Chain A
Amino acid sequence: MTAQEQYVEFGIDREQYAIRIQDIHEIIKMQEITHIPGVMPYVKGVINLRGKIVPVLSLRDLFGMEEQTHTKQTRIVVVNHADDAVGIVVDRVSKVTTFNDIQAPQGRFGGLDGRLFTGIGIAAGGLVGILQLEEVLLRD
């Protein structure tokens, strides 16, 4: 892991998280999510991304936080997963950033399983959890 890799930093509640920029397909504004009856509970539904049907997850849901009504800042971060795209709803997207110091995750980070993170970025504003996408997306 090079320290100068670029990340997109985003927030949920008061926490900051990040995803490697090369894993990100695009970031779109919140749009209507269609619920699909019978899907896994952490899949909120699907959206129409320019004619492609893309499933959407909620990080709040995944992290066991209360769902919140969407605000103007709510975004869907669309990440590449295998050959598909998967959307992740976040409260806000902050910036593209780099970390000078990344530390290995401890057993837990902010009350969450450490396995969900590849590392903890040390930034001026505080600690940023860098998501281990495989782990986040493949939860059952």
Chain B
Amino acid sequence: MLSEYKEIFLEELDEQLQLMDEVIMELERNSGSVEVIQSLFRAAHTLKGSSAAMGFEEMKRLTHRMEHLLDLVRSKERTVTPEMIDLLFRALDHLKLMKGDILARDCITVDVTDCVRALERYESGEEDERAAHRSAHDAVAGLPLHEPRTCAAGDAGSARPELSLSVRLHASGLLEQGQRLMWVSMRLAPDCFIQGARAYVIQTMLAEWGEVLLASPDYESIGESADAALELTYLYAGMQEPESLETQAAGLADVAWAGVFPVLPEELNMDASQAVDPRRHPSEPQQPETQYPQRPLQPSAAPSSQPAAGTGSPSPAVKAKAQTIRVSVERLDDLMNLVGELVIEQTRIQQVARTQRRRFQDDSVGELGHIADHFSRIVGDLQESVMKARMLPIEQLMGRFPRMIRDLSRDLGKELELVMEGQDTELDRTLIEEIADPLIHLIRNAVDHGLELPEVRERAGKPRQGLLRIRAAHEDNQVVIYVEDDGAGIDPDRMRTSAVKKGIISQEDADALGDREAIDLIFRPGFSTAQQVSDVSGRGVGMDIVGSHIERLNGMIDIESVLGRGTTFKIKLPLTLAIIIGLQVKCGGQTLIIPMNNIAEIVRVPADEIKSVRGQPVVLIRDQIIPVADIRDRFGVPQRNGGAKHIPLVIIGSAEKRLALTVDELIGNQEIVIKSLGAYIGKVEGIAGATILGDGSVAPILEISSLFGRTATR
């Protein structure tokens, strides 16, 4: 339950950091706007309040500084300058680091002193007096400003580590059970040379005698060979008398000195949050500082962290969250599996109803048909709802781009305008996580290699500012993401030369490639078109990883590039990974399923249009040469004799690759649930799994990406 507070806090932190990211960008573009300043101020203020409540003092310090600076801007005492923007970004980066710290070890080791001082210095340009007042205030609050902060508190006797809310709650619970709460401080002997291990042993001993609520520093963070004598401080709960505990502790090996001190009642109170003084900013919008549940164990705790809620409107984020509940992804997965079963059974009922109708003329048969229809509608809706429950707007991901692109273009000296569309497009949350890296790479690639430097653009008669457009949309049950730039485009000839030079393909092969295939060389391992390797786009390890990543997600990627005009990357992804639309085909008497989202198109060609080029059968479709493969060869299904005049070809794609599969018969497409073949069979080359068809029979699902693997090795 305690960690729930932390989770809520982290969730809010995430939200506010994202918001800050966007707003600072906005501020940079549009420096004056009152609303922008206001929302940034509010974000800093919210974080200040909640970090204080959670006992994350460093974060409070920094957000407090940010808030103060923004307050000056808000009251028109200061104007926004590029320097200020940079400072704000710097502070934001520190906040992000802290978030990482909290996630990893529940305390903050990030040193914000420099950042806080930089903010202060900037402010004091005109605000000497107030800044001085502030630092004085901070010093009074027991926060040495110029000392590097670590998880450890300073002096054994004086400064204690901050207690986070969860520790305080826990401690109060133990007190109520009649346990004694004590600070146990120890100094290790200077000649102790394995301090980390010793600290571990000491903590373990203490944990045997009673309970250790907090250890500072944590033994994991202690280097084995620290120079100075190490001070250890523990918050300890147990039944012993302080004196006997002190003797016990002093008797431990390598302990030079031990002291036991009582825990003061106010240390357990929420005094950290009292530092958030609502009187300081009488003009700020009143909003609930936190939405953490009240602490039932501490009715005496001062509720001062909650400045009169209700006098102002809560921020939209707060309002939205009140209407959501948190559900573990695992539960949704279970639900999805069950729905999958339902989909299968529903298809079977449909089929039974159909055969019955053909065989009998009876009212009850008609009724069965109606029920089956109704049932399938309900199952369809149910499936959609469950799928939706797993979906998130892609904004979650795209929101990170503006900042990244800003930094990137600055580092590279590019000027560009970023346009993002379709942020509300929803897709499965697993997919959002998985697609992040490939997308980021494509964007970096576009900024680094695609868009030209401003001068080059001017010479080419283009506007100095390049255009980068990121667009997401739903297109027939798939998610399509475009990354477009109006840069130099990809030169197929240079691709060919470069690939030959790097030994990726032979000159002969290069000459045989069409322009499209030449551009697709970008996905080959070891390929990089940049003349100079920059640290932004890396060393040519990028694009092939993008390709394989998308392949793994059952997606496709296409490149459209016009020399001098720009490049468009088009990524197609399935909406979800569990239930897919599959094309049923027959091949040598066996039914096979080809995932629909791997199908680029289906054509019927006259048999004589399949030509052979150097032993490889190929077909020419709209100027693109596509290799042809016969599934029957691959799977040892007997060949059908007697050539049909027209052959159905299913053009499949995986990432950028295309392959035409010859099949005997196309049956149609339907929704299918991917089932694994189980641990006994394990992974089968070329098979992604199996599904159960409407008639109860099983059909294997082709794994498209491995079909390409085989072609390559042939």
A-side residues, CB < 8 A to B, are 32, 34-40, 43, 45-48, 51-55, 81-84, 86, 137
Q: How far is the CA of A34 from the CA of B698 in the complex (A)?
A: 6
B514 within 8 A of A: no
* Cβ–Cβ contact B345 & A51, under 8 A: yes
Q: Answer whether residue B637 sits at the interface, using C-beta atoms and an 8 A cutoff.
A: yes
A35 nearest in chain B by CB position: B590
Give the docked Cα–Cα distance between A43 and B344 (Å): 25
> Are B681's CB and A39's CB within 8 A?
yes
The answer to whether B684 and A38 have CB atoms under 8 Å apart is: yes
* A137 touching B692, Cβ below 8 Å: no
Say yes or no: A48 contacts B696, CB within 8 Å: yes
Pick the residue among B345, B679, B681 that contacts A36 (CB under 8 A): B681
Q: How far is the CB of B198 from chain A (nearest CB, A)?
A: 45
B227 at the interface (CB under 8 A from A): no
Q: Does the CB pair A48–B698 fall under 8 Å?
A: yes
B677 touches A46 (CB 8 A): yes
Query: Which 6 A-B residue pairs are closest in the complex by CB-CB distance?
Result: A37-B635, A34-B698, A84-B678, A38-B684, A55-B681, A84-B680
Q: Is there a chain A Cβ closer than 8 Å to B634's Cβ?
A: yes
B341 touches A34 (CB 8 A): no
Q: Is the CB of A37 within 8 A of B680?
A: no
- Give B555-611 interface residues, CB cut-off 8 Å to A: 590
A37 to B703, CA, bound (A): 12
A137 to B678, CA, bound (A): 14
CB-based contact A37/B679 at 8 Å: no
Asked, given contacts A38-B686, A51-B341, A53-B675, whether A46 binds B681 with beta carbons under 8 Å apart, the answer is: yes
The number of inter-chain residue pairs (CB within 8 angstroms) is 69
CB of B684 within 8 A of CB of A36, answer yes
What residue of chain A has the Cβ atom nearest to residue B590's Cβ? A35
B670 touches A (CB below 8 Å): no
Q: Tell me which residues from 676 to 714 in chain B have a Cβ below 8 Å from any Cβ of chain A.
A: 676-681, 684-687, 690, 692, 696-700
* 22 CB-based A-B contacts, threshold 8 Å: A32-B697, A34-B690, A34-B700, A36-B684, A36-B700, A37-B636, A37-B687, A38-B635, A38-B687, A39-B681, A40-B681, A46-B690, A48-B698, A51-B345, A53-B676, A53-B690, A53-B692, A53-B698, A81-B680, A82-B679, A84-B679, A137-B680
Cα of A54 to Cα of B681 in the assembled complex, Å: 9
Residues of B near any A CB (own CB < 8 A): 341, 344-345, 590, 634-637, 675-681, 684-687, 690, 692, 696-700
CB-CB under 8 A from B692, the residues of chain A are 48, 51, 53
- Bound complex: CA of A74 vs CA of B87, how far in Å? 79
- A37 and B634 contact, CB distance less than 8 A: yes
Q: How far is the CA of A51 from the CA of B677 in the complex (A)?
A: 12
Smallest CB-CB separation from B592: which chain A residue?
A37
Residues of B within 8 A of A47 (CB): 698
Distance in Å: Cβ of B686 to nearest Cβ of chain A? 5
Chain A neighbourhood of B698, CB < 8 A: 34, 45-48, 53
User: B679 and A43: CB pair below 8 A?
Assistant: no
Q: For B696, what are the chain A residues with a Cβ–Cβ distance below 8 Å?
A: 48
Across the interface, name the chain B residue whose C-beta is closest to A37: B635
Bound: A123/B692 CA distance, A: 42
Residue of A whose beta carbon sits closest to that of B699: A34
* Residue of A whose beta carbon sits closest to that of B700: A36
**Chain B residues with Cβ under 8 A from A40's Cβ?**
681
Enumerate chain A residues within 8 angstroms of B676, measured Cβ to Cβ: 53
- Nearest CB on A from B334, distance (A): 15
Contacts of B634 in A (CB 8 A): 37
Contact between chains at A55 and B690 (CB < 8 Å): no
Establish whether residues B677 and A53, one from each chain, have CB atoms under 8 Å apart when the complex forms.
yes
For A84, list chain B residues within 8 Å (CB). 678-680
Q: Are A83 and B679 in contact (CB under 8 A)?
A: yes
CB-CB < 8 A to B700: which residues of A? 34, 36-37
A38→B636 CA distance, assembly (Å): 9
Name the distance in Å between A84's Cβ and chain B's nearest Cβ: 5
Complex: how many Å from CA A137 to CA B681?
Answer: 11
B677 in complex: contacting residue of A32, A36, A81, CB < 8 Å:
A36
Closest to B345 in A: A51
- Closest Cβ–Cβ distance, residue A3 to chain B (whole Å): 31
User: Beyond the given A37-B687, A46-B681, A53-B678, could you list 10 further A-B residue pairs with CB under 8 A, ordered by the A residue number?
Assistant: A35-B590, A37-B636, A37-B637, A43-B681, A46-B690, A46-B698, A51-B341, A53-B677, A55-B677, A83-B679
